[in-house]
């Protein structure tokens, strides 16, 4: 007879993601983690290897949520550029109230970690690049449909979008009454697109 897990791994990772996203890696104690995911240290180590293992799973989960969100917009928007714009609005505006932190968990992680956590830093960095590649793919599709000039470098535009998302999220956190929707509309209408 096999030993079945007495927990829902997906729910544990979701709860850990919310905790780490809210508090960050360093501010999350093992006790905080145990309480958030309702597991004892022995179970955490058996399932994830360490606190770092839970954090790594959380980073990967967070990145997959973003990619799934981008993919789900296909049903609403035929235009790749409209899909990208809708994603930016969701990533910037919705996180101001509906998320554990208004700052992107991946960007927050890259800013927080040191050389001591190089493996986790690399996971966060790779996840950001994975999202950026999806932006590039959408921009390339938009170029094929003549929504974006083919003279533009799709990777440069993808980087621009990534930087704008990070910047707008941070700006909104530090400033009140920021017209985020208008700023995003302007970004797509007046800047390199």
In a domain, 2, yes or no: no
In a domain, 143, yes or no: yes
Q: CATH number, domain at 56? A: 1.10.357.10
In a domain, 1, yes or no: no
User: Can you give the residue range of the structural domain that contains 73?
Assistant: 9-190
Report the pLDDT value the prediction gives residue 114, as an integer from 0 to 100: 87
- Beta carbons within 10 angstroms of residue 46's beta carbon: 11
132 band by pLDDT with thresholds 50, 70 and 90? very high
> Into how many domains does the chain fold?
1
Report the pLDDT value the prediction gives residue 53, as an integer from 0 to 100: 95
Question: Within its chain, how far is the Cα of 148 from the centroid?
Answer: 25
Q: Nearest to residue 19, comparing CAs of 40, 39, 41, 35? A: 35
183 band by pLDDT with thresholds 50, 70 and 90? very high
Question: Rounded to 5, what percent of the chain is helix, strand, coil?
Answer: 75, 0, 25
In a domain, 181, yes or no: yes
State how far the alpha carbon of 175 is from the alpha carbons of 107, 139, 170, in Å: 19, 30, 9
pLDDT digits (tens, 9 = 90+) for 85-124: 999 999 998 887 777 777 889 999 999 998 899 999 999 9
Give percent of the chain with pLDDT exceeding 70: 97
In a domain, 3, yes or no: no
- Phi, psi angle pair for 127, to nearest 5°: -65, -40
Range of weakest confidence among 1-10, 42-51, 109-118, 130-139: 1-10
What own/partner pairs with CB < 8 Å and gap ≥ 24 does 126-131 have? 127/59, 127/60, 127/62, 127/63, 128/63, 128/162, 130/63, 130/67, 131/63, 131/66, 131/67, 131/70, 131/106, 131/162
pLDDT digits (tens, 9 = 90+) for 65-80: 999 999 999 999 999 9
User: In b/e form, how buried is each residue of 160-170, taking b as 16+ CB within 10 angstroms?
Assistant: bbbebbbebbe
Q: Is the pLDDT of residue 175 over 90?
A: no
In a domain, 115, yes or no: yes
In a domain, 53, yes or no: yes
Report the pLDDT value the prediction gives residue 5, as an integer from 0 to 100: 57
Report the pLDDT value the prediction gives residue 144, as an integer from 0 to 100: 97
pTM of the model: 0.87
Could you tell me which residue, 173 or 130, shows the higher pLDDT?
Answer: 130
Pair 70, 87: CB distance under 8 Å: yes
In a domain, 163, yes or no: yes
Could you tell me which residue, 142 or 8, shows the higher pLDDT?
Answer: 142
């Amino acid at each position: 007879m096999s030993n079945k897990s007495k927990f829902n791994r997906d729910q544990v990772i979701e709860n850990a993601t919310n905790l780490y996203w809210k508090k960050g890696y360093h501010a999350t104690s093992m006790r905080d983690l145990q309480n958030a995911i309702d597991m004892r240290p022995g179970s955490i180590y058996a399932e994830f290897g360490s606190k770092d293992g839970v954090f790594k799973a959380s980073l990967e989960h967070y990145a997959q949520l973003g990619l799934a969100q981008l993919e789900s917009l296909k049903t609403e928007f035929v235009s790749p550029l409209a899909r990208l714009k809708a994603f930016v609005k969701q990533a910037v505006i919705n996180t101001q109230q509906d998320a554990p932190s208004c700052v992107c968990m991946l960007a927050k992680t890259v800013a927080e970690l040191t050389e001591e956590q190089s493996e986790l830093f690399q996971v966060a960095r790779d996840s950001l690049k994975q999202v950026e590649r999806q932006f590039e793919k959408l921009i390339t599709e938009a170029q094929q449909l003549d929504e974006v000039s083919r003279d533009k470098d799709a990777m440069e535009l993808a980087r621009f979008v990534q930087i704008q998302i990070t910047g707008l999220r941070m700006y909104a956190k530090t400033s009140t009454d920021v017209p985020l929707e208008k700023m995003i509309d302007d970004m797509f209408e007046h800047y390199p697109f």
